[in-house]
Amino acid sequence: MHEDCSINVRVNGVTFQQTVPVRQTLVDFLRDSLGLTGTHVACEHGVCGACHVRMNGETIRSCTLLAVQADGSEIETVEGLSCNPLGAALQEAFIKCGGFQCGFCTPGMLFTAMDIVESGARDRMAIREGLSGNACRCTGYQPIVDAIQSVAESR
């Protein structure tokens, strides 16, 4: 009833070949099998965005994807973000602007932030719209908008 399957993934530039249960989600695979606990699980039903990672360059919700669906993919998690110039700039801006408090939503938020900057949005309303799929319970969002806007404007 519960099958296993072998997958190949490249995560933050490192290749892994692992046998995973077919029903294991991508986020559980990253956290439990690879020990990359920077990506967080907050809802497990694809609403809050805490589980965002990039798969083949696109930001996805890893809680509603199975690990087997990531076979053959290139994954970027928050642990690899400081190697990405935009990611690193956003991390610094988030720190400076108070863009997080408890930090639980932050890894997922950073990927969305990259999407927003890359889209060319600079106006606060557009940034807020872009953030609408990421829940934060601590900051009230304003300093996150400040951080993203500061990076967007510097480009």
Partner 1 sequence: MMSTNNAFGGSAPSLSAARLALGEGAYLDDQQIPGQLHIAFVRSYLAHARIISIDYSEASKLDGVTAIFDGESLRDVCKPMHVEFAAFPDYKNIAQPVLAIDEVSWQGMPVVAIVAISKAIAEDAAELVAIEYEELEAIADPVAALELDAPVCISEASDNVAFDRIFGCEEIDEIFDKAAAVVCHNFTFDRQAGVPLEPRGIIAHYKPKSGFMDIVQSHQAPNQTREVIADLLSINPLKVSVRLSDVGGAFGVKLHAYPDEIATCAASLLLGRPIKFVADRMESFISDVQAREAEVTARLAVDGDGYILAFDVDVVSGLGAYSTYPRGSLSEGIQAVQLIGAPYKVPAARGRLRVAYQNKPPSGMYRGVGQPIAIAVTEQLMDMAAKALAIDPAEMRRRNFLPNLAQKQTTAFGLHVSGLSSTQCLEKLLETMDYRALREDQVEARKNGIYRGIGLSSFVELTAVGPGFYGAQKVSVASQEGCSLRLEPMGLISCETSVTDQGQGTLTGIAQIVAGTIGVPLNQVSVRSAGSDGVTYGGGAWASRGLAIGGEAALEASRTLRGNILEIAGALLQADPDNLDLVDGCIVQSGVERLSLKELSEIAMFRQHLLPDGMKPQLSVIHHHVMRDAPYLAANGIHGCHVEIDSETGTLKILGYWVVEDCGTVVNPLLVDGQIRGGVVQGVGAALYEHCVYDSAGQLTNASLADYAIPMAGEMPDIEIAHVETPAVETALGAKGAGEAGTIGAIGVMWTAVNDALAALGARACRQPFTPDRILEAILTAEAERRN
Binding partner 1 (rule: CB under 8 A), the pick from 94, 111, 117, 151 is 94
* Nearer Cβ to partner 1 (72/142): 142
73 part of the interface to partner 1, by CB under 8 A: no
Residues between 46 and 65 that touch partner 1 (CB under 8 A) = 47-48, 50
Residues between 115 and 154 that touch partner 1 (CB under 8 A) = 124, 127-129, 131-145
DSSP state of 117: H
The residues near 92 (Cβ < 8 Å, ≥ 6 apart) are none
103 part of the interface to partner 1, by CB under 8 A: yes
Binding partner 1 (rule: CB under 8 A), the pick from 37, 118, 119, 155 is 37
The residues near 16 (Cβ < 8 Å, ≥ 6 apart) are 8, 9, 10, 34
CB of 29 vs partner 1, minimal distance in Å: 12
Question: In 3-state terms, the chain is what percent helix, strand and coil (to 5)?
Answer: 45, 20, 40
